[in-house]
Amino acid sequence: MIGWRISLRKIAVGLILLASVFAQRGAEGQKGKAAGAKVSGAAVYALTEQMLAVAPKRFNGSPGHAKAEQFIREHFAPEAAKGNLEQDSFTASTPAGLQSMNNYIVRFPGKKDGVVVLATHYETNWPLRDINFVGANDGAATTSLLIGIGQYLRAHPPEGYSVWLVFFDGEEAVKEWSDSDSLYGSRHLAAKWSQSGVIGKIKAYLLADMCGDKDLNIDHDANSTPWLLEMLTVAAKDTGHAGSIFKNDTEVMDDHLPFKKRGVPVLDIIDLDYGPPTREHPEGGYHHTELDTIDKVGAKSLQISADLFLEMIRLVDLR
């Protein structure tokens, strides 16, 4: 009987250890689902360098603007071949007269009925066209970030909602920021999708703007949808980036507003605290100046932003 009891005890201990191993593997599996395969921040940084080399100044109507559009199209040639790259051309009435603009939409079909939109703008500021303003963080880095996410989605097609990448033209004011002189591309596309019924299919709209800042801390934007702000808190915790969000409270006028006005859940992933503040630029001394250069952008920050976007997609799918 003693020997039998000892055997039972050994079996029980063995079963406990085995259960512990499976539990640990399960926890690691859940963690793996949150982290998953990653977009490389270093690769996105390299893309930013490449974009700035071919299209440093991208104000509307410039040779660099056309080259930036070509840069986007070339990176999505496989999607274009499948009919999943759309050039959305329109004419905008601006203080400088009529200007031809182009949005680009890249579609990655999913398995669920609905769409998660990831958006950014690619052009540089028209009023700064006569200075050496290249917009490394303000446009180039986030354009490259979405290209990098697109390359990831090409290799890892969405299992949940479809993911659409949108590259907006005309985010910047042509003369002075106002409701009518700004957000040309997003206002146009929101109206177009509202008329076609696409707007009702959008489960979440996630905007990337100025989130390549080497000293990254993503703002808590009052113009973003509360449940998406809460979800970003979860995403930051899941990915180990809780220290990189919500240091500052802001109320940002950005490319998410035309969609918010039409009832779409929106989130602006943006860091307006870009460089030391000055009298001319209290929101950050690099913003809209010649100092917005590649050395102010960080591969680590682009990694954080990429991780957050991919985790947000996963969490929206689960909602």
Q: How many helices (H) and strands (E) does the chain have?
A: 9, 8
Flag whether 18 is in a domain: no
313 pLDDT more than 80: yes
pTM of the model: 0.88
Query: What residue spans of 76-164 are helical by DSSP H?
Result: 77-81, 141-155
Each residue's pLDDT tens digit, 259-310: 999 999 999 999 999 998 877 777 668 999 999 999 999 999 999 999 999 9
Alpha-carbon separation of residue 294 from 45, 77, 112 (angstroms) = 9, 26, 38
Ramachandran class of 252: left when φ > 0, alpha when ψ lies in -120 to 50, beta otherwise = beta
Domain count, the chain: 1
Each residue's pLDDT tens digit, 182-204: 999 999 999 999 999 999 999 99
Each residue's pLDDT tens digit, 221-264: 999 999 999 999 999 999 999 999 999 999 999 999 999 999 99
Flag whether 29 is in a domain: no
Domain that holds residue 50: 39-318
Is 294 within 8 Å of 136 (Cβ atoms)? yes
Flag whether 81 is in a domain: yes
CATH code (residue 258): 3.40.630.10
Torsion of CA 243, 143, 311, 45, to 10 degrees: -60
Residues 251 and 216: their CA atoms lie apart, in Å, by 18
Flag whether 314 is in a domain: yes
Residue in this structure with the two tokens 């063995």, named with its chain if needed: 14
Residues 106 and 171: their CA atoms lie apart, in Å, by 18
22 pLDDT more than 60: no
Flag whether 1 is in a domain: no
Flag whether 178 is in a domain: yes
Flag whether 61 is in a domain: yes
